[in-house]
Amino acid sequence: MNDFPWLTILIVIPLLGAVATAALPAGHRLELPKQVALGTSVLTLALSVVMSFGYELDGGFQFTEDHTWIKAFGAHYALGVDGLGLLMVLLTTVLVPIVIGASWYDADPGATLKLDDEASTTRHTKAFFAWALALEALSIAVFSATDVFLFYVAFEATLIPAYFLVGGFGGNLRRKAAVKFLIYQLAGGLVMLASVIGLYVVSAGRGTPSYLFTDLQGITIDPGTQKWLFIGFFVAFAIKAPLFPVHTWLPDTTEQATTGTSVLLVCILDKIGAYGMLRFCLGLLPDGSQWATPVVITLAVISIVYGSLVALGQDDILRLFGFMSVSHFGLIVLGIFLLTSQGGSGAVLYMVNHGLSTAALFLVAGFLIKRRGTASIRAMGGVEKVAPVLGGLFLVFCLAALSLPGLSPFVSEILVIIAAFQHQWWVGAIVVTVIVTTAWYLLWMYQRTMTGPELIGGRAAETRDLDRREVGTLAPLFVGLIVFGFFPMPLLKVINPFVDDTLQHVGVHDPAPTVAIAPAQPGSTQGGQQ
């Protein structure tokens, strides 16, 4: 089963689906591109699930492929997934069909989203779904690339569909948000390119140049060089994550993009930042990672606090979710750079759980905004009385985002908190305090939008409850939050071997527990025997 080119097929199928969707002739039925895109994404999901059943725990990189690409550079078309890569590929293939189903009418000509005082915009149906499939294919390529040069090419290529999804569909300031998004990402990619070239120089100096991850791990890079290479990689990944102070593109993007696009960016594309920190910063540059750990932890704590405090003052729901994600990504980065098994496992698990809970929040908020005609929190109220299913699901997803026990984000968050207290008590105390702040702004938002006087007249008629299609798109996310909240071990069994291998490569160990020993009493031994 490992000899079958699973990962290449998972990349090619959505790419072909994107081409087929975009190439549909004029005059086709409006439903046809949606059906092609949904069928392609469901097929990709099915194949990824079948592939995952063949994954062996503690097996390192599996489903590997390796073909010489650019011999002079030492670049290879090399693919493979370990525990981290497998979960990110599965998260991608799960979320894309959900987004396509939830965005079924968002790209129709004349469709509107987030109606404000300015004129609404039209969308081209084929383009939206074709770009979504293209982004899926390139994201899978990023998460499965085991050659640094191939990773960089796919990393930069994801910007193409993301830019057109943000700039072509959404609010009236979407083009400005798309340009800001692109400038930030290109700047990060340019800095990372310097480190990619630096790895070539290092490997060429040791003999045959190679960008293969396994070859680079076997090369001893002096600590001074590692520091410079780490900076190049980390800056790009911090922008992608995003981490304070290079986060400002995210709230602008979530405010202007469609909710389906926001899910693709926040729950899939932004995970590349945390993925890169684990794979390349810790995996290839252990000395550089340990050198930068105090600064990174400080930036992560600032992101956690800053994102939470700024979210308190937001009136736009989607912008609030953007700042909430800044805070949550800070928690993920903190878990990574605490350099303990609890922190690392919690961070990777949070990458999965954040994808589920935040995707659910964005999508249900999108359904609400289309009904109310605004994203302003102060302009809503009383929705749960006329749309109880919408209100109930919105409450569950808010509770998941604030890490209520019994829902899957709680498990990941408590692991990071334990690691934070082991590192420094005040770091753990700050994280716990921010949990209270998160509960404050999410429950405040829910109260303002869902409770209050019952809607009457035309407002009640316009605010209908969720239909079967909308409930169907949210149901898998709801089930995932419940199942992994009570039974996270299937995910942790995949995550823990990867984290242990990474920490072993970095050369760190979990801190030993401190146990107070009472002074020995006269006439007794230290073990208490008479």
Average pLDDT over residues 261-290: 90
How far apart (Å, rounded) are the C-alpha atoms in residues 52 and 437? 38
How far apart (Å, rounded) are the C-alpha atoms in residues 270 and 274? 8
Residue 125: what pLDDT?
Answer: 78
Largest CA distance in the chain: 97
What type of residue sits at position 200? Y
Name the residue with higher pLDDT: 343 or 463. Answer: 343
Residue 128: what pLDDT?
Answer: 87
Contact 322, 254 (CB under 8 A): yes
Name the residue with higher pLDDT: 221 or 335. Answer: 335
Residue 88, pLDDT above cutoff 90 = yes
Residue 332 — pLDDT band, cuts 50, 70, 90?
A: very high
Residue 336 — pLDDT band, cuts 50, 70, 90?
A: very high
Query: What percent of the residues of the chain are helix, what percent strand, and what percent coil, each to the nearest 5?
Result: 70, 5, 25
Two tokens, residue 72: 């002079």
- Give the tens place of pLDDT for each residue, 104-119: 877 766 554 443 433 3
How far separated are the first and last CA of the chain, in Å rounded? Answer: 62
This prediction has a pTM of 0.89
How far apart (Å, rounded) are the C-alpha atoms in residues 236 and 226? 16
**CB-CB neighbours of 205 under 10 Å:** 10
The runs of H, that is alpha helices, within 206-340 are 213-217, 223-240, 249-256, 259-263, 271-276, 283-284, 286-312, 317-337
Two tokens, residue 475: 């149901």
Residue 331: what pLDDT?
Answer: 92
Task: Please report where in the chains the tokens 């979530």 appear, as a residue.
Answer: 254
Residue 92, pLDDT above cutoff 60 = yes
Residue 121 — pLDDT band, cuts 50, 70, 90?
A: very low
Q: Which residues contact 298 (CB under 8 A, 6 or more apart)?
A: none
Residue 43: what pLDDT?
Answer: 95
Distances (CA, A) of 285 to 50, 126, 226: 34, 43, 6
Q: Of 270, 32, 261, 45, which Cα lies nearest the Cα of 161?
A: 261
Residue 193: what pLDDT?
Answer: 93
Contact 91, 355 (CB under 8 A): yes
Residue 529 — pLDDT band, cuts 50, 70, 90?
A: very low
Two tokens, residue 107: 């790209």
Residue 208 — pLDDT band, cuts 50, 70, 90?
A: confident
Residue 120: what pLDDT?
Answer: 36
Lowest-confidence pick of 116-130, 303-317, 387-401, 470-484: 116-130
Residue 522: what pLDDT?
Answer: 57
Q: Of 345, 241, 355, 216, which Cα lies nearest the Cα of 296?
A: 241
Distance, C-alpha 410 to centroid of its chain: 17
Distances (CA, A) of 261 to 23, 101, 175, 321: 21, 13, 14, 14
Residue 26: what pLDDT?
Answer: 63
How far apart (Å, rounded) are the C-alpha atoms in residues 92 and 161? 15
Contact 75, 210 (CB under 8 A): no
Contact 78, 94 (CB under 8 A): no
Average pLDDT over residues 391-413: 90
Residue 110: what pLDDT?
Answer: 54
Average pLDDT over residues 467-486: 91
Residue 454: what pLDDT?
Answer: 62
Residue 462: what pLDDT?
Answer: 63
Contact 326, 238 (CB under 8 A): no
Residue 483, pLDDT above cutoff 50 = yes
Residue 97, pLDDT above cutoff 90 = yes
Residue 15, pLDDT above cutoff 90 = yes
Residue 403: what pLDDT?
Answer: 86
Residue 461: what pLDDT?
Answer: 53
Reduced 3-state DSSP string for 173-232: CHHHHHHHHHHHHHHHHHHHHHHHHHHHHHHHHCCCCCCEHHHHHCCCCCHHHHHHHHHH
| Domain spans in the chain, listed from the N-terminal domain onward | 6-506
DSSP letter (8 states) at residue 529: -
How far apart (Å, rounded) are the C-alpha atoms in residues 359 and 353? 10
What percentage of the chain reaches a pLDDT higher than 90?
A: 39
Task: Return mean pLDDT, the chain.
Answer: 85
Average pLDDT over residues 447-463: 66
Lowest-confidence pick of 183-187, 378-382, 510-514: 510-514
Residue 528, pLDDT above cutoff 50 = no
How far apart (Å, rounded) are the C-alpha atoms in residues 140 and 349? 18
How far apart (Å, rounded) are the C-alpha atoms in residues 132 and 24? 16
Residue 130: what pLDDT?
Answer: 92
Two tokens, residue 307: 């994102």
Residue 171: what pLDDT?
Answer: 74
Q: Of 187, 212, 207, 330, which Cα lies nearest the Cα of 280?
A: 212
3-state DSSP assignment of residue 59: coil
Taken in order 522, 524, 528, 530, is the CA torsion positive or negative? negative
Helix (H) or strand (E) holding 62: strand 62-70
- Give the tens place of pLDDT for each residue, 49-81: 999 998 888 768 899 898 988 888 888 899 999
Residue 299, pLDDT above cutoff 90 = yes
- Give the tens place of pLDDT for each residue, 141-189: 999 999 999 999 999 999 999 999 988 887 778 888 889 889 988 999 9
Residue 459: what pLDDT?
Answer: 56
What type of residue sits at position 196? V
Residue 447: what pLDDT?
Answer: 87
The runs of H, that is alpha helices, within 339-453 are 341-372, 383-386, 388-401, 408-423, 425-450
- Give the tens place of pLDDT for each residue, 345-356: 999 999 999 999
DSSP letter (8 states) at residue 117: S
**CB-CB neighbours of 158 under 10 Å:** 23
Two tokens, residue 158: 């994801």
Q: Which residues contact 70 (CB under 8 A, 6 or more apart)?
A: 149
Residue 530: what pLDDT?
Answer: 36
3-state DSSP assignment of residue 257: strand
Name the residue with higher pLDDT: 283 or 140. Answer: 140
Taken in order 278, 279, 282, 288, is the CA torsion positive or negative? negative
